Structure 1
């Protein structure tokens, strides 16, 4: 039974406590201050020009068509007023085009910055974070959450400013025309604002649940539609169950989307209805004023004033509704921003200390030492709603498995306990032991995939925690049991270790890995596409490509994590020859289940239950028949009751 460790993530209050979310959003826009100032100038200019139109309308009625002094229409004045009413929309349209270009540029650039910051932060996170988090969930947070705030960064800020300026200008104009009618127009606004705040809080909660549901769907898609997932489903005839799993997540997402879309619709229907009937109420009040049934003086209420006022009402309605809608969008987006900032606020567990020393590749010797190492796997840290769980149940958090098949989940016990090893420069050290004994864990401490709980790991006498991460990564290379190849050409996969490598250097590395001739047998040679995770290649071909990649990197320290397991005899021979070339003049730590591959090791360490129980050469360890290595050797090469088994036992007893 797997334990269920506590998954830590920041709450909304904790995210806001570090720095208010809106302040952090504003910080994203800081590099684009000049463009934003131009947008503000454009918005204010456009709003100011638009506010002039109602006054032109009043002048058309009260001075050009129906002069208040009772004279004939003034066609000359009418021509100028009409010309102004025509020019203003053209100018505002041109301003709007420039404004839209600026806002789109600023918003998309800020969103690209945010996405880039997220990806960069992801690269800094420790290995344990990824073993505790679904890959699809991380992808969703990078893609869906960032896309969800696109509108806020590209349009919302401008919409708020533009509509705020428009509403302000319209209200000022309405007050100048008739402050009494303005009060009548806005009498229910406090109630609307209160209702809008309540709807916004509900939309915010729904937005977070919707994005978490979307993350789950993305994770299911990534798992089920990968090559490995499809193969697994076909082998175990689980395609129907996978489809139903996706359909259930899809139904939940649909329900949340509908609920989010409908939240606030009744509120907006009420507001829109009120604004629609307000002009009719204004006409009714105007009738009372004109007939003397009101305390308001009829002297200021001309036909032009009434037409201008109702025109302003029409201009006020849409900006106010947009402000309310955009306010809800902002509150919805705050939930997404919190999810993004929650991610950015997770501090990497593996970081450089101040004053970290860089290993000099010209002088590094490659001496590796584990000194009194105790190690316990930390509690997994993951984002809310992203923790990896069993596919067909809820049996707790699955922390993950290390390369080589060694389960990295150890509960509350020690994964390694008082482990001490020394590998001299240029020597080959082998680590053997039963599955789960801590072999892979020990090697993962050398490149600082994890940090020791107690004790120290040293390279040339330097504690790895005192070294720069970049120089440590350059000094240590690794070939795992299941090498990862990305979807691309063979050339690109090898050159990943050294992007600036020449074709000759890549070919030399491939020859050293015993894979050049095989590559050239493909119709497209080095331009052959490997397929996702290298599925177009055999296991041995992938292993040799991984070795070629390490040879191109040319590290001083090499870790081989069961690099020849599960290979046929001929392929193992080719891989073993490549490994022998790779280990020359390098400090090498090899994990092996096939003991035939490490009999020539300079030193062999036997691990059991996270402890070093023996060490020595092949001959020295065989001299102890009851030792771990001798038992593993007999079990691997012979079967009880066979003559070969008896011969092996006899050899060991000598």
Structure 2
């Protein structure tokens, strides 16, 4: 019994599958390689023209050299046929090398362009996009276009040139037989168009199914997904869902391969019957006595050589039309607007000279699709070197404020400034050096401790790594590991405890040396003893910096220079711990 499919929302990218893809836009992918493509076309033309000599050499062998027993002429004709074959083969190797190089360069650019553009997308894009969908676009969709990108242009040029040259040679031999040979072209073209439309639709469905399969793998075989399935006992259900998706993929793959094959097979049979029709035509009254045996043999040889490039051209048309579904999915991602981007005219603010005066001025922000503002009219002033604590119940808007300060989102109204400069006027790279974030969900790469630290600062020396680790109070633990700083942390850092991961993250942030530090509930999941150790590392990290701390446990923020209570996106009250306790308001109730 087939496992039930999960309900899934149709993304904007999938809604665009029916959109026509401009062939001109696809052609622009090859613009940078015009010179190489021109050379390939020249080689193809030369190769096609040279290969046309073979039938004429064959006619001379049959009609002249063999009947006259002219061994010298026969030797020259045979040598000419071998030379033609050798030259066309050599030209084919060169053509393949150049065209494959161009195709791979185009693929490389397409992959990197998509990766770069997606990396510029805001966090909101990734929160509304299914896990695994992005990877599927880059691997499955772009990978599926490889054969089209690497061979389509050369196949069209090669087959078209060969077909034209062959048709000219056939007309030179016998224009009457040429008309007989070409009578099958109109139905072949019409049939090919129908098959191409069928395959395009199937290809779009197949790629969506591949994306679903990729999502299941990403969610089910990640460390978090495996732990969840094992603790809930849902492993069998997950396997059933994967199996059902894989079975649907089998059906789509078969349909993609077999779509229109019986129709194309019928055309192949018809093409194969044409030589018989030619032999019959050669005996009809209007051609009788006008064709020599050599001409007839040479013509049938050319005719067989004509249908191969014609079928090749029709096959390329089918492949190109079906691949438009892939191009539509990729171009849809490339056309996504960048919601949080570098300014057109950025302000040059040296991160090393920033004092760290942070100010929020009447900031309002609403998440897309929400009817209620997550942050509404917030104004806060955090002088350089001071600390601000944001407290409040879950969902009050504290983490949203942290995301706005790090410019993970842009406010809908108001502005956030550092030393008087709007964050939207700064380069994102400069802002990342100014504002450092340590959150509750510490993310470590599946590599060594050393490389995890260097992720923040690739040029950091080993001494600087150890200095940062000492300041974060994690150096002794790392040194005690069998491989020290070369220890692999495991997927998402699961080799380490929550507190240890937090201190590694603190060391990583220290290497960036930001002037403004955002601590987003960084100790909420830790036990009391571990929290104390991490808090000491935070105290070291916050020294001399402007600090914004978000916490549930008020004991960790009571020493902050200023505490602001957030409720439903608004600031209810603010002041020092003692002042807020004495006022007996919301903060006092939270502290009770």
- For the aligned pair, the TM-score class normalised by the smaller chain equals over 0.9
Task: Say whether residues 1:196 and 2:192 are aligned partners.
Answer: yes
2:530 counterpart residue number: 571
Task: Say whether residues 1:154 and 2:158 are aligned partners.
Answer: no
Task: Say whether residues 1:95 and 2:87 are aligned partners.
Answer: no
Deviation per CA, 1:387-434, whole angstroms, max 9, x where unpaired? xxxxxxxxxxxxxxxxxxxxxxxx211111111111111011100000
1:630 counterpart residue number: 588
CA contact (8 A) 1:42 1:99 kept: yes
1:325 counterpart residue number: 315
Q: Secondary structure at the match of 1:135?
A: coil
Q: Secondary structure at the match of 2:216?
A: helix
Greater shift in the superposed pair: 464-473 or 219-228: 464-473
2:251 counterpart residue number: 255
Distance in 2 separating the partners of 1:102 and 1:300: 45
1:213 counterpart residue number: 209
Distance in 1 separating the partners of 2:483 and 2:91: 55
Q: Secondary structure at the match of 2:565?
A: strand
Task: Say whether residues 1:228 and 2:218 are aligned partners.
Answer: no
Q: Secondary structure at the match of 2:52?
A: helix
2:33 counterpart residue number: 32
- Per the alignment, do residues 189 and 339 of structure 1 end up closer, same or farther by CA in structure 2, a change over 3 Å counting? same
Greater shift in the superposed pair: 543-552 or 361-370: 361-370
Deviation per CA, 1:55-80, whole angstroms, max 9, x where unpaired? 111111111123xxxxx322221111
- Structure 2's unaligned 5+ residue stretches are 1-7
Q: 2:521 aligns with which of 547, 550, 562?
A: 562
Pairwise CA distance, 1:216: 1.0
Pairwise CA distance, 1:235: 0.6
Distance in 1 separating the partners of 2:341 and 2:82: 63
The structure 1 segments of at least 4 consecutive aligned residues displaced by more than 6 Å after TM superposition are: none
Task: Say whether residues 1:357 and 2:347 are aligned partners.
Answer: yes
Task: Say whether residues 1:135 and 2:135 are aligned partners.
Answer: no
1:530 counterpart residue number: 489
Pairwise CA distance, 1:569: 2.2
Distance in 2 separating the partners of 1:114 and 1:95: 28
Q: 1:461 aligns with which of 395, 405, 420?
A: 420
Q: Secondary structure at the match of 1:517?
A: helix
1:592 counterpart residue number: 551
Distance in 2 separating the partners of 1:138 and 1:74: 69
Distance in 2 separating the partners of 1:557 and 1:184: 81
CA contact (8 A) 1:21 1:338 kept: no
CA contact (8 A) 2:49 2:165 kept: yes
TM (normalized to structure 2)?
Answer: 0.96
Distance in 2 separating the partners of 1:274 and 1:351: 59
Distance in 2 separating the partners of 1:5 and 1:199: 30
CA contact (8 A) 2:523 2:534 kept: yes
Q: 1:416 aligns with which of 340, 361, 375?
A: 375
Pairwise CA distance, 1:24: 2.1
TM (normalized to structure 1)?
Answer: 0.87
Pairwise CA distance, 1:10: 8.3
Taking the TM superposition and a 5 Å limit, the aligned residue runs for 1:360-399 are 360-379=350-369
Pairwise CA distance, 1:49: 1.4
1:69 counterpart residue number: none
CA contact (8 A) 2:407 2:423 kept: yes
Q: 1:426 aligns with which of 375, 380, 385?
A: 385
Distance in 1 separating the partners of 2:404 and 2:157: 54
1:495 counterpart residue number: 454
CA contact (8 A) 1:512 1:581 kept: yes
Q: 2:103 aligns with which of 101, 104, 107?
A: 107
Distance in 2 separating the partners of 1:89 and 1:613: 87
Distance in 2 separating the partners of 1:279 and 1:331: 31
1:45 counterpart residue number: 46
Distance in 2 separating the partners of 1:73 and 1:267: 48
Pairwise CA distance, 1:6: 9.2
Greater shift in the superposed pair: 299-308 or 232-241: 299-308
Distance in 2 separating the partners of 1:285 and 1:212: 52
Q: Secondary structure at the match of 1:484?
A: coil
CA contact (8 A) 2:17 2:329 kept: no
Taking the TM superposition and a 5 Å limit, the aligned residue runs for 1:601-640 are 601-625=560-584, 627-634=585-592
Task: Say whether residues 1:62 and 2:63 are aligned partners.
Answer: yes
Pairwise CA distance, 1:186: 1.2
2:5 counterpart residue number: none
Q: 1:278 aligns with which of 253, 274, 289?
A: 274
CA contact (8 A) 2:13 2:329 kept: no
Distance in 2 separating the partners of 1:542 and 1:57: 78
Q: Secondary structure at the match of 2:437?
A: strand
Q: Secondary structure at the match of 2:352?
A: coil
Taking the TM superposition and a 5 Å limit, the aligned residue runs for 1:431-442 are 431-442=390-401
1:408 counterpart residue number: none
1:385 counterpart residue number: none
Distance in 2 separating the partners of 1:335 and 1:10: 10
Pairwise CA distance, 1:135: 2.9
Q: Secondary structure at the match of 1:590?
A: strand
Distance in 2 separating the partners of 1:76 and 1:500: 75
Cα-Cα RMSD: 1.6
Pairwise CA distance, 1:204: 1.1
2:334 counterpart residue number: 344
Deviation per CA, 1:149-193, whole angstroms, max 9, x where unpaired? 111121121111111111111111111111111111111211110
CA contact (8 A) 1:513 1:548 kept: yes
CA contact (8 A) 1:21 1:337 kept: no
2:4 counterpart residue number: none
CA contact (8 A) 1:213 1:249 kept: yes
Pairwise CA distance, 1:15: 6.1
Pairwise CA distance, 1:329: 0.6
- Per the alignment, do residues 165 and 62 of structure 1 end up closer, same or farther by CA in structure 2, a change over 3 Å counting? same
Deviation per CA, 1:340-366, whole angstroms, max 9, x where unpaired? 111101110112332221322233111
Q: 2:283 aligns with which of 269, 281, 287?
A: 287
CA contact (8 A) 1:107 1:154 kept: yes
Q: Secondary structure at the match of 2:481?
A: coil
Distance in 1 separating the partners of 2:171 and 2:25: 37
Pairwise CA distance, 1:458: 1.4
Distance in 1 separating the partners of 2:27 and 2:287: 48
2:435 counterpart residue number: 476
1:398 counterpart residue number: none
Distance in 2 separating the partners of 1:492 and 1:130: 25
Pairwise CA distance, 1:299: 4.1
